[in-house]
């Protein structure tokens, strides 16, 4: 009987793993997420109030929107996609940093600077092969955090900026 349970568990894991292989993964969408932790609160979408989104209005004060993913292996994916809502943020910038530190080290990451030149929602897709490299990241097989930074790297926060983030996804190869 115990071996039957083991076989059924293994079969279930195989089927579930096969179903998700090659599929995009939603890391955060305001309601359902595949993250261990968030540094922001979830609020109603400023355009569609029934939709929940991440409140990044702390960007005006130089804060960081940080998510820690449950699965840290991004090697089966080719890009990160998200929607960013901006209001009163024309000319603001964010630094996207994907942390990939060797054990016992800090400050190793992949990065991309994002200039905000719109109002409202905009979908942004950043291919991994277009990211810059800082120091010696382990690789896309170990991404321990996704950070949207509103200060540093020559970026100063805009006091009027109101930002919201939604639909953070990994795009499958």
Quote the percentage of the chain above a pLDDT of 90: 69
Distance (Å, whole) CA 111 – CA 142? 15
Choosing among 1.10.357.10, 3.40.50.300, 2.60.120.430, 3.40.50.1820, the CATH entry for 24-172 is 2.60.120.430
Residue 30's pLDDT band (boundaries 50, 70, 90)? confident
Predicted pLDDT at 104: 87
E-assigned strands of the chain? 25-28, 35-38, 42-44, 52-55, 64-69, 77-87, 93-99, 109-115, 120-127, 132-134, 145-149, 162-172
Band (pLDDT 50/70/90 cuts) for residue 11 is: very low
**Domain coordinates in residue numbering, the chain:** 24-172
Residue 31 has pLDDT above 60, yes or no: yes
- pLDDT for the residue 36: 72
pLDDT digits (tens, 9 = 90+) for 126-152: 999 999 999 999 999 999 999 999 999
**pLDDT-based confidence at residue 17 (cuts at 50, 70, 90):** very low
Model pTM greater than 0.85? no
Residue 9's pLDDT band, with cuts at 50, 70 and 90, is very low
Position 112 scores a pLDDT of 98
The pLDDT value given to residue 33: 74
Three-class SS string for 75-120? CCEEEEEEEEEEECCCCCEEEEEEECCCCCCCCCEEEEEEECCCCE
pLDDT, residue 146, reads 95
pLDDT one-digit tens code per residue, 67-109: 899 899 999 999 999 999 999 999 999 999 999 999 889 999 9
């Amino acid at each position: 009987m115990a071996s039957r349970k083991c076989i059924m568990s293994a079969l279930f894991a195989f089927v579930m793993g096969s179903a998700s292989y090659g599929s995009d993964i939603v890391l955060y969408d305001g309601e359902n997420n595949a993250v261990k932790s968030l540094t922001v609160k979830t609020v109603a979408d400023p355009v569609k109030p029934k939709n929940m989104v991440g409140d990044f209005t702390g960007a005006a004060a130089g804060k960081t929107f940080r998510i820690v993913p449950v699965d840290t292996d991004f090697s089966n994916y080719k890009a990160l996609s998200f929607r960013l809502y901006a209001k009163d943020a024309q000319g603001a910038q964010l630094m996207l940093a994907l942390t990939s530190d060797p054990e016992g080290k800090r400050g190793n990451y992949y990065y991309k600077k994002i200039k905000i030149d719109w109002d409202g929602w905009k979908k942004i897709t950043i291919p991994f092969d277009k990211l810059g490299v800082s120091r010696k990241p382990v690789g896309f097989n170990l991404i321990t955090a996704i950070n949207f930074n509103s200060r540093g790297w020559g970026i100063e926060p805009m006091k009027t900026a109101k930002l919201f983030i939604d639909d953070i996804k990994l795009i499958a190869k």
